[in-house]
Chains A and B, each alone.
Chain A
Amino acid sequence: MTSKVNSRLFQELTNDLINLLENDDEHDVIIEAGEGENTRKFKAHYYILRMRSPYFRQALSSRWAIKEDGKYIFKKPNITPETFDTILRYIYASTIDVEKLNEVQIVSALGAADELCLNILVEVLQGELL
C-alpha cells in the first residue's frame, strides 16, 4: 500500500474517533476540568482512556474509581478546559493542531501531558518549543 492510501485510511480512523468524542451519547466517563468559573464537563469512554493513558488506567482502576449512575466522574481541577480539550483530542485521535496554538497554550499542554504521563506528546510539544 502506498503511503497516500495509508494516510487516507488513517484519516478515516481519526475522523471516526473525533466523532466519537464529540457526538457519542454512550459515554461512561465524565471528566470535569478546570476550577471555579472556568470548568467544563467532558464526555469520554473508559476503554479509550485506559488504553491511551497510563494515568487514566490507574485513576479509573477498581482500586480508586467508583461509578455514580453508571458513569465514572473524575475531576481534574489543575488543568483548564481549553488545555484539556487539546489533551483529550490527542488521547482520542492522536492528533494535535499545533499551528493553532500559541506558545502559552503549548506550554500549558506540555505541563498537562507530562502530569498525565503522555510521553510521546511531551516529546512532540517540546520539539515545537525549541
Chain B
Amino acid sequence: MSSRKQPKGKIRPPKKPNSADAQFNDNWDRLAQAIREIHKKNASILSFEELYRNAYNMVLHKNGDKLYNGVREVITQHLEEVAVSQVVPAFPLSGASSSQTNPNGAGGANFLKVLKTVWEDHTTCMLMIRDILMYMDRVYAKTANVPLVYDLGLDLFRDTIVRSQNYPIQNHLLEVLLQQIKLERENEIIDRTNVKASIDMLLELTDASTKDTVYATDFENKFLETSSEYYRVEGQMLVGEYDAPEYMKKVDKRLNEEEQRVRHYLSQTTEPKIRNIVEEELISKHLKTVIEMENSGLIPMLRNEKMDDLGRMYKLFGRVVKGHDEMKSAISDYIRELGKAINETVTSNTTAEGGNAASGDKQTGATVAVRWVQEVLDLKDKFDKVQNLALSNDKAFQTSFNEAFEYFINKNSKSPEFISLFIDDNLKKGLKGKTEEEVDSVLDKTITLFRFIGEKDVFERYYKQHLAKRLLLGRSVSDDAERGMIGKLKVECGYQFTTKLEGMFNDMRISSDTMTDFKEYLDKSVLEKPKLDLSVTVLTSTFWPMNLSASPRCNLPPELTKACGTFQNFYLGRHSGRRLTWQSNMGTADIRGSFKARKHELNVSTYQMVILLMFNDKQDGESLSYEQIKGESDIPEADLKRNLQSLACAKYKILVKEPKGKEINPGDQFNFNNDFTAPLQRIKIQTVASKVESEGERKETREKVEEARKHQTEAAIVRIMKDRKTMEHNLLIAEVVKQLQSRFMPNPALIKKRIEALIEREYLERATGDRRVYNYLA
C-alpha cells in the first residue's frame, strides 16, 4: 500500500524519460523484482497501485508482449528452482525399496505433501500476479490471443513441474498416487488430503493438445489399468478362497470402497469407469463360477432359503449384462429339476399302487393327486417368497419361473385331473377342519397352477365329474365355496368355460323346488303314497358328465320302481316333451339294518341298497354268490365289484365274503353280517368317490376330450370363415389356434382334418384358382 512508508527514492515520478526503452526497462525491472518478492512471500512490502500502474503503462506503450514474455520467464525460472530445491529432494525412495510398502508409503505421502505446498504457493502467487497484471490480461492477452496470465501460470506449472523434462517428477507422482491407492485397497490408512490435493491439481491442469485435464490424460488411464490388473488378480484369489456369500460380500465391499474413493479424492468422471472395471473383473468374469459354487452357490442358497444372500446376488449380478440371465436360467433349471422330482414320485406311487387303487383302496389315488398338487404349491410358495424377498418382484424372473412351472406341470399328463381332485378335496364337506378363509386362500393358489395347464378343456371335464359327485352326494362344503371357485375359473377363462358348471347348480336348485312341489302333489293326490321317501334330482343331460348312450342298467326293487313311476308321471305332466333317464349309479339311499346287537341306519349308494335288499329274502346264514347278485341286480360289472368291495371289504363289513380278501372274484360267496357292530347309530358306507382314474377310464376320458376338441375346432373354423368368407390356409390355422389356445393347444394336423371334414360336408370349398385358399359356403 502506498500508505506504507516505502524506502525513499524507490518510486519516483517519471522524470523526463530519456527514451521509451529506458522507461520500459525501469518499469520491467520493478515488476520482475516485485514478482520475485511475491514468490518469496514478501508481498506485504509491495504496492498494488504502483505495480499495477507500471504494468498499465507498459501495456499502454505497446510493450505488452515484452511484459508477457518477461513474466513467463520469471515464473518459469522460479518454478525450475522450486523443482530442484523442493520437489526433487522429496522424491520417495523408489525402485528397490518399493516392495517395502511402509517406508515407501511414508516417503510417497511426504512427496505428495511437498507437492501440495508447492502447488498452493504457486496458485497463491499467481492470484497476486494476476491482480497486478489485470490490465495486461484485459487489453494485451485478448488482442494477442494468448492465455490469461493465471492460465499461463498453470501451463508453466504443468510443463515445469508436473511434466518436467528435466526431472522424473511425473513418474514419481503417478507411482506414488497409485501406490497410495493400492495401500488403501489393502486396508492401510493413508492421508487422503495429500492425495486429494494432487488429484485436484491434476484436475486443474489442462493438456494442451487434448484440451482435457491432465488428470484424464496422465493419471486416469494408468489408474484404470492398474485397477483392472489388481481386481483381475483379486477375483481369481477370492473365488478360490471364499464361498459364494462371502465372495459377494467382498465384491459389495469393493464396489462400495471404490465409490467412496472416487467421491473422496478422485474425479466423478472416473466413477462409472472404475465401477465397470470392478464389475467386469469381480462379477462378469466369475458369474458362472459363483452361481455354481458347490455348497454355497445359487442352488444351495435357494435350497436353504438364504434370502439375504439371494438378494445380494440379485443386486450384484444385476450390475452386469449377463448377470440376471445367468441367474434366471439357473433358477429355472432348478425349478424344472424339482418339478421333475415331484412328477417322478407321483408316477412311481401310482404305478406301485396301481393294483391296489383298482381294487378299491379309495384314498390312495386321491392322496397322490392331493400330494402332488400340495408339493407343487409348496414349490410355488417357495419361489414366490424368493421372488418377493430377494428378487424385488422382478417381472423377468417371474416370467421365467412361470415357464419352468408350466413346463413340468404339463409334463405330468395327469395334472388337470390332479388339480381338479385337489380342489375337490378342499371343497368336500368337513374333511380338513379348515376355515373358509383357509380354503379360499388354498383355492386361490390352486388357480395359479390352473393357469399353467395347457389343456384346460381336460381340466374342465374332470372338474365337471368331481363337481357332479359333490353335488349329487351332497358333499359340497357350501354353495358359496363352490360358486366362489367357479367365479375364479370364470375370471380365468371366461363365461363359456363355466356356463355348464353353473347349469349344474341351477339343476340342483330347480330340483329342490321340484321336490317341494312333488310332496305337495302327493299330499293332495288320491294316489297311494309311495312306501319310501323319494328324492329326485333332475339333471340336464348336456350340463352333466353322463354317458347317455350307455345308460346304466339296474333292476330296482318294486317299491322303488313304483315310486319312480309316480314321480315320472308328476314330472312329465308338468314338462311335456322331456325324457327322464334314471341314473341309478349316481343315487344314494338311507336304509335301516337290523343286526344282532342293534339297529343301524345305513347310508348307502343305490346299487348297495339293491344288493342289500336281496338279503331280506334270505335266511340267516344263507349266502348269495357273486354270479347270483350280478344276475339278479343287472348292475354293470365294474360298479358291482366296487360296491361289493365297499360292503364286504372296507371299514364297515355289512356283508361277509368267502373266501376272505380284498378282491372281488367270480365265485365269491356273500353273507349278511348279523354280528356287525359299530359305535355309531348312523353309518355312511363310503363308496369309491373321487379317485384318480384307472387307465381304461383315462382312455375313455381322453377320447371324449378328443371328440369335444373336434367339435370345438370345427365350430371355430366355421365361426371364422363365416366372418371372413375367404381365407388363406395358414392364416386360418393361425386364427383357429389363437381362438382355441385358452382351452387347449390344437395341432395343425387336427385343424387340417377338420377343414377337410367341413369341405366334405360343404361348409367350405377350395377356391378355384388357388387350392390354398378356402371360401365359406353360406
Contacts and interface: CB of A to CB of B under 8 A. Distances in A.
Contacts of A115: 53, 56, 135
Interface string A103-127: 0000000000001010000000000
A35 B11 CA distance: 13
Nearest to A59: B48
Interface in A45-99: 54-55, 58-59, 61, 63-66, 68, 73-78
A66 B131 contact: no
B1 A63 contact: no
A63 B48 CA distance: 9
A interface secondary structure, majority: mixed
A64 B48 contact: yes
A77 B132 CA distance: 17
B134 A55 contact: yes
A117 B1 contact: no
Q: What bracket does the count of chain B residues touching chain A fall in?
A: 20 to 34
| Interface class of chain B by DSSP | helix
Given A58-B48, A117-B135, A64 B127 contact: no
Contacts of B135: 115, 117
B128 interface: yes
A4 B53 CA distance: 42
A42 to B, nearest CB: 14
Contacts of A54: 134
B44 to A, nearest CB: 8
Interface residues of A, number: 19
B1 A78 contact: no
A68 B128 CA distance: 21
Contacts of B52: 55, 58-59
Contacts of A65: 1, 48
Contacts of A75: 1-3, 49
B134 A74 contact: no
Given A73-B1, A78-B53, A117-B138, A63 B13 contact: no
A58 B130 CA distance: 9
Contacts of B48: 58-59, 64-65
Contacts of B127: 63
A60 to B, nearest CB: 9
B522 to A, nearest CB: 104
Interface in A8-31: none
A74 B2 CA distance: 7
Contacts of B773: none
A59 B4 CA distance: 14
Contacts of A78: 53
B43 interface: yes
Given A55-B52, A115-B56, A61 B131 contact: yes
A68 B3 contact: yes
Contacts of A64: 1, 43, 46, 48, 128, 131
A22 to B, nearest CB: 24
B131 A58 contact: yes
Interface in B35-77: 43-44, 46, 48-49, 52-53, 56
A70 B132 CA distance: 24
B43 A74 contact: no
B49 A76 contact: yes
A106 B131 CA distance: 27
A26 B737 CA distance: 94
Max chain B CB contacts within 10 Å: which of A58, A59, A64, A66? A64
Contacts of B134: 54-55, 58, 117
A42 B161 CA distance: 46
Q: Specify which of A63, A74, A75 lies most central, judged by the most chain B CB atoms within 10 Å of its CB.
A: A63
B1 A74 contact: yes
Contacts of A66: 1, 3-4, 44
Given A73-B2, A117-B135, 6 more contacts: A63-B128, A64-B46, A66-B44, A74-B1, A74-B2, A75-B49
Interface of A: 35, 54-55, 58-59, 61, 63-66, 68, 73-78, 115, 117
8 contacts: A55-B134, A59-B48, A64-B46, A64-B128, A64-B131, A66-B1, A76-B49, A117-B135
Q: Which 4 A-B pairs have the closest CB atoms?
A: A75-B2, A64-B48, A73-B3, A58-B131
